[in-house]
């Protein structure tokens, strides 16, 4: 049985696009189906992408617009069993986090637990990374719990920081890796191969690969994708 996925996104939705395309590539082998795309912003590019792919979509209620759809309504109407956050800037309400334990995932553009937490999103993350002087940043996919960016880590992939980087160049390098890592994690969780329980058994399910030839040197997307697949056991 495929998981019924709701993707929540506040921005452009390039991660949503990467998930859609990965599922298209997997075809019948995909572990989930995106049944709804929701955003707190009516202008979010993610909604346009959903429309282009004939995926039902809608705007979520906010304190300023309580008349819109609530997340509870989205979940019930579309029989959602997995919530995928892809650049979603609001907190998921605590009762839903409690009800969806192990069934909400997020991607963060740094190696958590560093450079995460309240206020750490978008370019702010990459600016903090550059200012700190670290030479390696990366991508983290994790389960969501009631603390910002603190849920159990599913997968991480490192990305080098160069001395010449600014937030744009670094952000673009990290985003490219997000597009490779996150769709595979979404599929692994949607299909049941990765669960909160089997991630809890130890670090063996997390991808922490620091082999230089895979990560710190220029690489082809297809090669990197192959290695992520291997590490995730797909
Ligand atoms: C990504 O960097 C993601 O890690 C972060 O927000 C950004 C969203 O980008 N949570 P997009 O909307 O998927 O293009």
Task: Dump pLDDT digits (tens) for 158-181.
Answer: 999 999 999 999 999 999 999 999
pLDDT > 90 in the chain, percent: 76
Q: Residue 93 gets which letter from DSSP?
A: P
- 24-44 pLDDT tens trace: 999 999 999 999 999 999 999
How far apart, in whole angstroms, are the C-alpha atoms of residue 47 and residue 58? 7
The reply to whether ligand 1 has any atom less than 6 angstroms from the CB of 160 is no
pLDDT exceeds 60 at position 200: no
Does 12 sit in the ligand 1 pocket, CB within 6 Å?
Answer: yes
Name which residue sits closest to atom 5 of ligand 1, judged by CA: 87
Q: Tell me: the pLDDT tens digits for 104-152?
A: 999 999 999 999 998 999 999 999 999 999 999 999 999 999 888 889 9
Q: Where are the alpha helices (DSSP H) in 27-160?
A: 45-52, 71-77, 94-99, 123-132
List the strands of the sheet with 136-143, edge to edge.
57-59, 32-39, 3-8, 82-85, 104-108, 136-143, 153-160
Nearest CA to ligand 1 atom 7: 87
Q: Which residue, by CA, sits nearest to atom 14 of ligand 1?
A: 14
pLDDT at 220: 64
Question: Is the CB of 108 inside a 6 Å radius of any atom of ligand 1?
Answer: yes
pTM: 0.88
């Amino acid at each position: 049985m495929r998981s019924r996925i709701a993707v929540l996104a506040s921005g452009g939705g390039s991660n949503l696009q990467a998930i859609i395309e990965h599922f298209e590539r997997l075809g019948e082998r995909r572990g989930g189906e995106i049944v709804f795309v929701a955003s707190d912003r009516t202008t979010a590019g993610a909604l346009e992408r959903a429309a282009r792919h004939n995926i039902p979509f809608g705007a979520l209620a906010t304190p300023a617009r309580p008349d819109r759809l609530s997340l509870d309504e989205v979940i019930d109407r579309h029989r959602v069993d997995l919530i995928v956050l892809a650049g979603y800037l609001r907190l998921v309400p605590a009762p839903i986090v409690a009800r969806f334990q192990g069934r909400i995932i997020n991607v963060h553009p740094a190696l958590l637990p560093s450079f995460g937490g309240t206020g750490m999103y978008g370019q702010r993350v990459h600016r903090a990374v550059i200012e700190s002087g670290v030479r390696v940043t990366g991508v983290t996919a994790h389960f969501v719990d009631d603390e910002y960016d603190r849920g159990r880590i599913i997968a991480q992939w490192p990305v080098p920081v160069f001395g010449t980087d600014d937030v744009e160049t670094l952000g673009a390098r990290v985003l490219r890796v997000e597009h490779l890592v996150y769709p595979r994690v979404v599929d692994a969780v949607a299909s049941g191969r990765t669960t909160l329980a089997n991630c809890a058994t130890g670090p063996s399910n997390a991808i922490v690969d620091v082999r230089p030839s895979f990560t710190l040197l220029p690489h082809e997307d297809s090669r990197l994708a192959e290695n992520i697949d291997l590490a995730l056991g797909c």
